[in-house]
């Protein structure tokens, strides 16, 4: 069971680890993508401002000129360089290169490539039909923004100036982004770790201790106890477990001590019960019940019928004291034909009267019809002489702790032995009876 518990805990921890990693991954990716988009948007906004400024410059300097000279384009490049332009290429409407300057300029190119030509047409169409000043394209791999700015030169000819702008501070922004994502991931790991520690301390470890205690109890260790660390549901569960352990231990002890024939508690349980009553300080009565003429009955009818007589006595005791409704009554079997009853000091007598009457009424059913009619049986006494024995009766010696300060259960047993002798020797011993020790004294 402990191995199964460890397996469950391991699988739970593994599942939680996987979920945590997935949460961190999804969250960081979402933040990363969002920040990348934000960086791109900032670059676009900057390019729009630059594009608007350059468009205005072209309209002011080139419009109305009869030709597009290199001095005009060079001035335009200087203007663009002030905004961080890396290169400038001016294309005709047909895609031919009219002017190029800056880093990695395609001077050798005879015309625009297909991608550039498409961008040129888009820039012209945007201007004509959507009233846009320019068109831009972002190259994240090269970390640049290309502006396609259409303008009119040499009367009514169209041209497109392609300005390549560097994304300023991109490396720094990406470094900050990586650092931000790492800090977020670390924070999530820290929060999850704290949560795991709390769950372990509050739930997993106490439950694991309870499971281990349950496993030990299942293996026979009924004295196992678990620590109660908090006053919450887990703590109350631990207290209930400890109480259950004590109760099971007591039941197990009583079961081991129980008489195998009657199933009633034996001598250890009887001594414990009387000792607990003496420690509590309340008033109570102890009844020592002894069958009379049982040996003669056992000798004549056999041990099997003798066991029936013992069980009949047990059933009579249980019925008599159960009818009183006294839940505090204890009934034990010392062995042989001796029984013990521990009852309240004010409720024992009606039950005892009922018990002796019930016994005398039912005991005749244990005998053959002839013996029951005669009122005696013939058997051999302890000396081997054959003689007549009366039918079985029950003698009850009652000892109270109201008049005498008993300290131990052995003292009460000594007093009961004296009273029992008197009960057995009283006149009219053909019927059951009881006697009470009413002697006063400082001790037993």
What are the residues whose beta carbons fall under 8 Å from the beta carbon of 126, sequence distance 6 or more?
Answer: 132, 134, 135
Q: State the pLDDT at residue 131.
A: 42
Neighbours of 4 (CB within 10 A): 10
Distance (Å, rounded) from C-alpha 198 to C-alpha 192? 10
The label of the residue with tokens 């001077």 reads 107
Q: State the pLDDT at residue 136.
A: 62
Q: State the pLDDT at residue 363.
A: 94
Token pair recorded at residue 202: 């509050």
Distance (Å, rounded) from C-alpha 381 to C-alpha 266? 29
Q: Which CATH number fits domain 260-437: 3.30.70.270, 3.40.50.970, 3.40.50.300, 3.40.50.10130?
A: 3.30.70.270
Q: State the pLDDT at residue 340.
A: 94
CB 397 within 8 A of CB 433: no
Q: Taking the chain (444 residues) in consecutive chunks of 10 residues, what is each chunk's mean pLDDT?
A: 57 68 71 67 71 78 70 78 79 78 58 64 56 60 77 78 74 70 78 77 75 77 76 78 78 75 89 90 91 91 93 94 70 92 89 93 93 87 80 92 86 89 74 85 50
Q: State the pLDDT at residue 57.
A: 78
Burial label for 92, CB within 10 Å (0-12, 13-18, 19+), is: middle
Q: State the pLDDT at residue 3.
A: 58
Q: State the pLDDT at residue 128.
A: 44
With both helix axes pointing from N to C terminus, report the angle between 170-199 and 2-61 in degrees, rounded to the nearest 10: 160
Q: In the CATH hierarchy, which fold is given to the domain comprising 2-172?
A: Beta-Lactamase (3.30.450)
């Amino acid at each position: 069971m402990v191995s199964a518990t460890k397996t469950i805990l391991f699988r739970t921890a593994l599942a939680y680890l996987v979920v945590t990693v997935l949460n961190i991954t999804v969250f960081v990716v979402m933040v990363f993508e969002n920040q990348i988009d934000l960086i791109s948007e900032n670059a676009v906004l900057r390019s729009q401002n630059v594009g608007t400024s350059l468009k205005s410059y072209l309209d002011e300097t080139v419009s109305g000129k009869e030709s597009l000279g290199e001095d005009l384009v060079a001035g335009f490049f200087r203007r663009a360089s002030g905004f961080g332009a890396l290169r400038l290429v001016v294309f005709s409407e047909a895609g031919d290169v009219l002017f190029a300057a800056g880093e990695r300029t395609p001077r050798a190119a005879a015309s625009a490539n297909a991608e550039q030509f498409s961008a040129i047409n888009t820039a012209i169409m945007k201007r004509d039909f959507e009233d846009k000043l320019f068109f831009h394209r972002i190259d994240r791999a090269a970390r640049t923004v290309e502006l396609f700015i259409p303008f009119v030169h040499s009367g009514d000819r169209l041209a497109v100036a392609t300005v390549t702008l560097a994304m300023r501070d991109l490396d720094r922004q990406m470094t900050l982004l990586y650092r931000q994502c790492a800090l977020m991931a670390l924070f999530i790991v820290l929060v999850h770790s704290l949560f795991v520690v709390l769950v372990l301390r509050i739930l997993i470890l106490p439950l694991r201790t309870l499971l281990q205690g349950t496993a030990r109890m299942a293996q026979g260790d009924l004295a196992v106890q678990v620590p109660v660390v908090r006053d919450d549901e887990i703590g109350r569960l631990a207290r209930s477990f400890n109480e259950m352990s004590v109760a099971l231990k007591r039941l197990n002890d009583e079961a081991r001590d129980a008489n195998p024939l009657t199933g009633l508690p034996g001598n250890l349980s009887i001594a414990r019960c009387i000792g607990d009553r003496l420690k509590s300080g309340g008033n109570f009565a102890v009844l020592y019940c002894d069958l009379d003429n049982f040996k003669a009955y056992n000798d004549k009818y056999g041990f099997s019928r003798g066991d029936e007589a013992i069980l009949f006595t047990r059933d009579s005791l249980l019925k008599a004291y159960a009818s009183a409704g006294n839940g505090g009554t204890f009934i034990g079997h010392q062995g042989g034909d001796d029984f013990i009853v521990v009852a309240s000091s004010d409720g024992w007598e009606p039950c005892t009267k009922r018990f002796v009457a019930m016994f005398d009424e039912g005991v005749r059913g244990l005998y053959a019809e002839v013996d029951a009619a005669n009122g005696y049986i013939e058997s051999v006494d302890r000396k081997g002489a054959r003689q007549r024995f009366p039918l079985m009766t029950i003698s009850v010696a009652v000892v109270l702790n109201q008049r005498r300060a008993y300290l131990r259960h052995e003292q009460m047993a000594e007093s009961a032995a004296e009273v029992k002798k008197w009960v057995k020797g009283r006149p009219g011993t053909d019927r059951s009876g009881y006697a009470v020790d009413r002697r006063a004294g400082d001790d037993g």
